[in-house]
Structure 1
Amino acid sequence: MGDDVLRLASAVRARVPSCGIVLMMAGNRPAAVGRAMAAGVHGIVPTDTGLPRLIATLKGVAAGCVTMAPSLAGSAMGLGVPGAGPATKLSTRESQVLRLTAGGATVKEIAAELYLAAGTVRNVTSASIKKLGGRNRFDAARIAVEQGWI
């Protein structure tokens, strides 16, 4: 991901602010993730991403969420990257589950992505809903997005 791509992303965002931009990136490079997010990119997926994860990312970006693979989202933490969020009352696992939920992933897809049992995903989701006062998992994800926690 060179400077030309980032300049183009930044120019598109400046010209059409409502346009969501998703980039594919090889490797897990925290500095590149931070630069991409600073350029206005809303989603980043690894080049080896499967179709279901790519579709979930596109749905998340279309819904106005910053969406990326958990392996890349960890890179963004602590970089002052929009969407990485300030300190939150959510655990890392809760943030991961809610970020994938906001991206449109099902419980089964989240479980596969995070290498968890579906029951564990439901338990983490339930704890997130209680912490945030949400009505359901999607409402909890919306609250977390609005607060800038995911």
Structure 2
Amino acid sequence: MSVWPAWEVQEDDGATSWCHVRLAFTDGARVDALAVVADGHVSIEDVRSQPALCLDDLAALADWIEGPLFEACGFGPLPDEEEGEGEPAGPRRARPAWPRGAEGRWLVAQEYRAAQEDGVDPVLAVMCATGHSRRKSLRMIAQARDAGFLTPRHARR
């Protein structure tokens, strides 16, 4: 998933941001959207997809892109997202539930190594497994390295 800002309107007590969003899937499907972030809410102004989205997928689109949009627009994580151990807060996410803590880091390492063995992009494999953006997936891979589940990226001298 890629998010890049289109434009922003500053108001007295806040800002309204428009962002271009592109979701590209491994099977060649693609969704392009123009999303608006204002007052802690996401609205979709325009959507183009190949192949066409069904109504259920279209209804879930805003919830699925909400977190990465807030991060890209500088609002930080969603207010109901909890940092730390435990289950993710609320059923707001369209992405699969992923365990946090040591178990999550271990699973990231497993996905990473399996992708390497299969000769595919390991970062993309982690992105698909977790449902997170590339940036968040890279952060999770680094945490798995720091925990000792993956070998260090560079040999130390």
Whose radius of gyration is greater, 1 or 2?
2
Q: Structure 1-normalised TM-score?
A: 0.30
Please identify which structure carries the higher helix content: 1
Please identify which structure carries the higher strand content: 2
Higher-RCO chain (CA-CA 8 Å, sequence separation at least 6): 1
